[in-house]
Chains A and B, each alone.
Chain A
Amino acid sequence: MDSALIPEGAKRCSFPKFTIGIAIVGAVLLWGVFAMFLCWFKGLNQTNMNDYYGFALWIWADLAVIAVGGGAFFTGLLRYIFKIDELKNIINFAVIIGFICYSSALLILAIDIGQPLRGWFIFWHANVHSMLTEVAFCLSAYFAVLTIEFIPNILENRQVNKVPFFHHLAHNMHGVMAVFAATGAFLSFFHQGSLGGVAGVMYGRPFAVREGLLIWPWTFFLFTWSAAAFGPCFTLLVTRITEAVTGKKLVKDNVIHLLAKISGWMIVTYIIAKIIDTIYWAMVTAPSLGFTLSHFYSNNGFYGYWILIAEIVVCGIVPGVLLVMKSTRENPTLRLVAIILGTIGVCLNRWVMVLQIMAVPVMSFDTWALYFPSWQEIATTILPVAYGIILIAVAYRYLPVFPQEQELNPVEPVTE
């Protein structure tokens, strides 16, 4: 039925099957959209946020999707600037994942702010001292870059590409993509960093505050580094999931191994920096403010040392080592374990840097504050996941996302 749109030489499931799949995910999407409208029309009283939890699930989701979406800028950087040519076979998909992540982040922000119709004040009345201003500018600009990076792939659709103008546009855009990749990497460096800075500059919050370089707290660099390190893990994870769902090999192993190896080394270097940062904070920064490490991990029903160990050891050192060592990296199961742990690790880090900050009491007579999101918050957080699945499904079906697909999956001649 839609065969005219499907890339030439590619095999796709039947249209009804596709439609049913989309409908199921679409139902989840609608649930999220319903919750979104509730938040917009009734206000944020629909959430379980409160004056202790001004930042909660959504801001975590925001930081997490931007972190895992970091695969786009980093892969782009490697592909176009460092000229690692093999990565051209995964760059399209990395860009799509990035596009989904960043558009989701913007959507969540639009729900999260109390006055969405005034959201543009962040640009109009910008406060240059605020990390959030930096985030907003770089995030929006980078989203524009991702859109530009995504366009050539859209233009390669079989029907669209028939239009000569689009055909040439796509071709020429590929030519100048290095410029955008460089711009994207630059912007990403700053917004990933300033998202880290959001926590690090809160000097009223001993759990968050970090010393740093000039105006940038160490979390600035740690966030950028971790996004570059764990972003590719997520790209690999989504690729693996897509392969599992389609039942096809879509990217050659050498490409996967290469990206996994780079990710592994990034994780290892990041986690060393993170450990140094944590030790310095625990031994110097926090005690100088009168706080012992145990203050942040005891006397409450949830946050214990386990979360520190889970983030740094289980979901940091372990995936790093697994991906750095050739034997484990090239073992599909262990590699999958590593990329899953890595993705969890970066999400856990963002959770800690958003929610645990809010939970820890600062005034000596204050108490721990725990929080559980409302269904509206959960639904609106799942909304981007559903949206992402649909976008990937549609893109995979109609666009030549994986250049190696046909080579790896030759279509047998149709026999009547």
Chain B
Amino acid sequence: MKQENNNAHKFGMVIDLDKCTGCGSCMVSCMSENNVPFKEDESNKKDSITWMSVYKLTNGKSFPDTEIAYLPRPCQHCGGKGDHGHSPCVSVCPAVATDYGYDTGIVSQIYTRCFGCRYCMGACPYHARYFNWWDPKWPEGMENYLSPNVSPRMRGVVEKCSFCYHRYQAARDVAYYEGRDDIEEHEYQTACTTACPSGAIVFGDLNNPAHKIHQIVKPDPHPDPRNKHVIGKSRNPKVFRLLERLGTNPKVYYLSEREWVRKQGDSYLDGEWDKIKNHHGTSSHG
């Protein structure tokens, strides 16, 4: 078993789906922050680059018992089976163009390294990865608003959410300049987190018990006794992850009081949900 590195961060996110209104601020903030291009028709959602994408969930009931919820989906920054850093995408990239940062838990994407084989997109069940089918083009003059923090991508490469890694670098630079070893919680926040008008997104270090995300999620450091690949299961009964059963170990958690919403996090066989819905990590308090 690999020893936990105490200095390593494990940046993650918990999104309160009861607060999320589906307003789209996170999506636009992300696009604006990360120089995401746009094209004339973006209504084919299967070729529309949205690092942060908001899904609409319904409880499947008919009028007037219908309910809806919105689920923002950034890159899940999977730790992979056993949380060893072999994310579904990282493990398949033939050219190490996407990599797992063991010091941050962030899955990176190197656009100039990627040669566009798209294996990572096939491997990602969250559809968090997007391919540049077109050359990015901005209307005349509009390239003036592009930020130098994130390089615009060329045609033919894959891109995705980076947890605004450049903001982490900037915060670290400031800390270094001020002679501090580490950054404060508020110094590194993603563009979607700060933009959310409902305050539905909480971002921070899952390894740091002082951080709000740790307090909400209460991640279980031990493997789930029901599935040894699963590490970091939340001990908060209202918190779940997407497709946790696959063992991808995402660092994006979701919070909802509504059972039907939590149930949509994974697929369940008949009757299975009732048996496991009350299982929240191991009983230890490590």
Contacts and interface: CB of A to CB of B under 8 A. Distances in A.
A54 interface: yes
B57 A365 contact: yes
Given A55-B118, A136-B94, A290-B272, A362 B135 contact: no
B46 A114 contact: no
Nearest to A43: B155
Interface stretch (B126-134, B167-175, B184-192): B126-134
B219 interface: no
Given A45-B134, A114-B131, A290-B268, A206 B47 contact: no
B44 A50 contact: yes
A167 B57 CA distance: 72
Contacts of A369: 46
B96 interface: yes
Contacts of A201: 91-92, 123
Contact of A125 (B46, B48, B55, B113): B113
A52 B114 CA distance: 18
Contacts of B55: 363, 365
B105 to A, nearest CB: 17
Interface in A184-204: 198, 201-204
Nearest to B124: A204
Interface residues of B, number: 59
Contacts of A364: 263-267
A202 B115 contact: no
A388 to B, nearest CB: 24
A126 B92 CA distance: 11
Contacts of B129: 51, 54
B96 A291 contact: no
A205 interface: yes
B156 A115 contact: yes
User: Which of A114, A129, A362 gathers the greatest number of chain B CB atoms within 10 Å?
Assistant: A114
Contacts of A49: 118, 131, 133
A114 B125 contact: no
B86 A204 contact: no
Contacts of A226: none
A121 to B, nearest CB: 4
Interface string A105-138: 0000000111110110110111101111100100
A51 B115 contact: no
B121 interface: yes
B126 A113 contact: no
Interface in A315-342: none
A366 interface: yes
A198 B71 CA distance: 30
Interface stretch (B8-16, B22-30, B144-152, B243-251): B243-251
A292 interface: yes
Contact of A205 (B120, B125, B157): B125
Contacts of B248: 203-204
B116 interface: yes
B1 interface: no
Given A362-B125, A369-B46, 7 more contacts: A43-B134, A51-B129, A114-B155, A118-B116, A198-B119, A206-B246, A363-B126
